Amino acid sequence: MNVSFERRALFFSTVAVAGTLTILVFALALALYSVYVRGVGVQLNDSLEEIRAYVALHGQPRRADELAAAVASRLVRPQAAIFVLDPERRAEIRWNRALRSTDRSSATVSLSPRSRVRIDTPNGLASQLLMGLGTLFGLTPVQAQFGQISVIVRPSEPELVASVEPFVPWFLIAELVALALGFALARILTRQALRPLAEVTAALERFATGDLTPQPVGTDSRHRLDALARAYNGAIEQVSHAFAERDRAQAGMRQFIADAGHQLRTPLTVIRGFTAILRQGDLRQTGDYERILDAINRQSLAMGSLIDKLILLERWESAPEPVPSESIDVTQLVDDVVSPIAEVHPQRLRLEITDARSAAIDPSDLVQAVTNLVDNALKYTTGAVTVRVGGTGERTSIDVIDEGPGMNASELRHIFDRFYRGANREIEGSGLGLAIARRAIERAGGTISVQSTPDIGSHFTIALPGVTPRRVPVAPRLTAGV
């Protein structure tokens, strides 16, 4: 395995693991700071509420210094800086950090003219960052108005910074530990993860020399490249299955040739027999000559139809052709196909259309599918057959419903196979109609399915993907129905 690749893998894994750990540490620090900030915000609101309670109890104050002195003697909130302003002066109440006491005397009041504005700004990048984060987490001043006196309670910036700054070195140490731990974990994980890659590389090199003997690579879910090892083992398994699949394909081809030969042998036998009769001149009744010629013609047409169907299926499956993507009027096409058949079977075949539908499909493919489904339904049942065109949204569906003998589960599994005829083999047919119908619909990206119950009937459904349906309302109609 390339050494440079291993180094790159180690670099990127270190970035990922160490970066994740440092981000987690930073997120934890932010979460703890946000909890602290919320606590400070609660203290600010509590301070303002206590001032309101004092004013409510003792009445409206007249001067800022009087209210400030009363508040300072009763209220100690180290995290709060309280400003009391009247039209002439400004009183500021702060906690005296030098005393480091919760005694009332630790609160001091300083007076200045109202016009004088002094804003404490923390020094240093860390202090500014802490105050900015506090504002981001919603730490804002609160205020109230008592007559002409305004009271503003805001965070004590020096106290806030002083409370948090001792934890900054610990935060930096935690980040360094996270980086170191991430580097160590990355080295361990990289070595373990690249082990399956080295084994798979060796196995592929063995394959390149021509040794195709299946030798699975050991897997371990703890490895980062466990999926690669499992994929390699799956490929090895597929190699062995490929030979078995080839044997099955050859067997299927032999079966196909045997079935096709059987289907062609019957008309050829009839043609040969009648040809021998004509050569011998063994015609016993008037009209035998014409009947024999008609029979030979029918068998020739059947054989030609079978060959055409086989060629069609082979062309579709061996060299798929692009299917036109433009939409066609499915409703009109089905009407054109079914109506002539319904005129021949006026008491059995019914066409139901409730909405104009469109779909992207080759018209000849859809004609093949619908014709085969309707023909099968009429051949295998003496009851009613319903062809219904409809759909919802962009989905267009064509349903062919009959009241025939139905099919059991075993027949349903093979109903779309080539040359499959089911139990009613005495009915004339090649067994290719449904195979052609399914392939024609699948070429357009659609599906064809069937539901059937013995002695009740079968329900074939063509589902075509689509195009946005044309919302053209049409009057519900029945064509040549029962």
Question: Which pLDDT belongs to residue 441?
Answer: 83
**Do 403 and 384 contact (CB within 8 A), yes or no?**
yes
Angstrom distances, CA of residue 406 to CA of 344, 386, 453, 455: 23, 15, 5, 5
Q: What is the DSSP string of 44-63?
A: HHHHHHHHHHHHHHH---SS
Residues 101, 76 contacting (CB under 8 angstroms)? no
Q: Hey, how many other C-beta atoms are within 10 angstroms of the C-beta on 466?
A: 21
- Asked if residue 329 lies in contact with residue 438, where contact means CB atoms within 8 angstroms, the answer is no
Q: Is pTM beyond 0.75 here? A: no
Alpha helices in 281-387 (DSSP H): 288-318, 330-344, 363-380
How far, in Å, CA of 274 to CA of 129, rounded?
105
Q: What backbone phi and psi angles, to 5 degrees, belong to 257?
A: -65, -40
Which pLDDT value is given to residue 459? 92
pLDDT tens digit sequence for 132-161: 787 888 888 888 888 888 888 888 777 777
User: Going by DSSP bridges, is the β-strand pair 457-464/447-453 parallel, antiparallel, or unpaired?
Assistant: antiparallel
Which of 222, 223, 203 is CA-nearest to residue 213? 203
Structure tokens, 465: 């993907």
> How many other CB atoms sit within 10 Å of the CB of residue 293?
12
| Long-range contacts, 311-320 (Cβ 8 Å, 24+) | 312/436, 313/418, 313/432, 313/435, 313/436, 313/439, 316/439, 316/440, 316/443, 317/439, 320/443
Phi, psi for 145 (deg, rounded to 5)? -120, 125
- pLDDT for 161-175, tens place per residue? 777 778 878 888 888
CB 441, CB 466: distance < 8 Å: no
- Burial status of residue 60 (CB atoms within 10 A of its CB: 0-12, 13-18, 19 or more): exposed
pLDDT by residue, tens only, the chain of 482 residues:
555 666 777 777 778 888 888 888 888 888 888 888 888 888 888 888 888 888 888 888 888 888 888 888 777 667 788 888 888 888 888 776 554 444 444 677 888 887 654 555 556 676 677 777 878 888 888 888 888 888 888 887 777 777 777 887 888 888 888 888 888 887 777 776 666 666 777 777 776 676 666 666 665 655 555 666 667 667 777 776 776 667 766 765 666 666 666 566 667 777 777 787 777 776 666 677 777 777 777 767 767 766 766 676 666 665 555 555 568 888 888 888 888 888 888 888 888 887 788 888 888 888 888 888 888 888 888 788 999 988 877 788 899 999 888 888 888 888 887 777 666 555 565 667 788 788 878 877 888 899 988 888 899 998 887 664 444 444 444 444 43
The answer to whether 251 and 411 are in contact (CB under 8 A) is no
- Radius of gyration for the alpha carbons in the chain, expressed in angstroms and rounded: 45
* Token pair for 247: 């044997």
